Structure 1
């Protein structure tokens, strides 16, 4: 089955902090010129979608708001739909995404990647809110175990902190971002491929969050790149993966078979 559209991870796949993966800018340009529909599908939660687009543009990528689908935007949609007033464990840069959301007397706890908020006092505040009412939900924007930080070393993701709140409160978190099937369904819908997921490729550096879960269950082609958080042994962690040195080789492969 040929590939007719592409979903692409960001951090670790096309850049690591402010360092662009060599050749990634040109590869994305070739993909755009090929007229293959694509979206950047990301769990990035430290900054808002607007700031993320500005940052990518600053790195040299030609990106518009419509090109990016984030777990933060999916989380905002959920909050609005369920009429929640969240306590937001988010970095200041991500708070813009939730402008206009009522947070007075919160009735939900929402956790993103928030290194400056992951300390005892703040986590205990979330814990006390949840145990005050067993009906207060815990929402995880995503549960990544770790990510490639600016020094290209691995740093803890939000997953461990979400699990700590789950353990302390006995409440199971609802996960919004990758690798949930719902996240991928929404991303596919944006490029008009929700009915033919088997014709879509997902490119990422994370075997579990980019290429597991919904990507596998929906039957997407799963392309693992050996950059970012990739570690030896990841190739054997899941069957059905195609492995490429970087985003450059993955995109060139897709364009070649598209013609």
Structure 2
């Protein structure tokens, strides 16, 4: 039995600023059945408030405390360890860490920096890593869908720094088990009673399965033919749309 659900956002509930067919109905159906939902995203270009506002404009009501983002996870990680970050993140989320800046950096924090991923910026991070700073990455996604096309995400840049500095990054978003379990714990449910619904076979579904959750891949968003082979051997389920997903859960 599934008693709680985690949803990815972009590509699952909406795309291009418009809700996907069945998105509103899916959330209403779960609510009516008494099944709580949480929302987990690897987006590091928007603040949590901006994401909440975007969802509201599409008629998708989500409480801030029910939305889990890598920026929040990164803040908690830095604060708990009293680390000052050196930031290579998108300009729109730099303010999330403004109060943590000042003094010598104690860690390199990587986000989806978009056009800021230039040689000089990456080389500065590389040199800091050689000086002994740890590399923190707000995700490891290979790509995302933008304007109907796939674009490089944070993962390739993280991998480049890992390779150059001969070290392994601490991943603070999906597919980190800690990230999934933070959302699961807010439901007061064991992982085996919770399903993760996503469009990314590796980050969403395989990551959730590794954390002990049910994994559900929906053929929308960044789904690509052949992704079934990545999730089915590990017990993942695949559905064409949210209507079929909700039928399965209920």
TM-score by length of 2: 0.94
Residues 87 and 103, structure 1, Cα contact 8 Å, conserved in 2: no
Partner of 2:140: 143
- Report SS of the residue matched to 1:253: helix
Matched pairs, number: 248
- Pick one of 244, 247, 253 that aligns with 2:242: 247
CA distance in 2, matches of 1:181, 1:34: 27
RMSD over aligned Cα atoms: 1.4
Partner of 2:219: 226
TM-score by length of 1: 0.91
Residues 83 and 106, structure 2, Cα contact 8 Å, conserved in 1: yes
Alignment of 1:21-32 (within 5 A): 21-32=20-31
Residue 96 (structure 2) pairs with residue 97 (structure 1): yes
CA distance in 2, matches of 1:35, 1:25: 16
CA distance in 2, matches of 1:67, 1:106: 31
**What whole-Å deviation, never above 9, does each CA across 1:160-207 have from its counterpart, x for those lacking one?**
0011111222221111111111111111111111xx211111100011
Partner of 2:185: 189
Higher helix proportion, which one? 2
Residue 149 (structure 2) pairs with residue 153 (structure 1): yes
CA distance in 2, matches of 1:248, 1:120: 45
CA distance in 2, matches of 1:124, 1:209: 27
The verdict on how the C-alpha distance between 1:33 and 1:44 changes in structure 2, with shifts beyond 3 A counting, is same
What's the CA shift for 1:34? 2.2
The unaligned stretches of length 5 or more in structure 2 are none
Partner of 1:129: 128
Alignment of 1:1-259 (within 5 A): 2-131=1-130, 133-134=131-132, 136-149=133-146, 151-193=147-189, 196-213=190-207, 215-238=208-231, 239=233, 240-255=235-250
CA distance in 2, matches of 1:87, 1:37: 37
Structure 1 residue runs of 4 or more that deviate by more than 6 Å after TM superposition: none
**What whole-Å deviation, never above 9, does each CA across 1:98-132 have from its counterpart, x for those lacking one?**
2421243222111111112111121112122222x
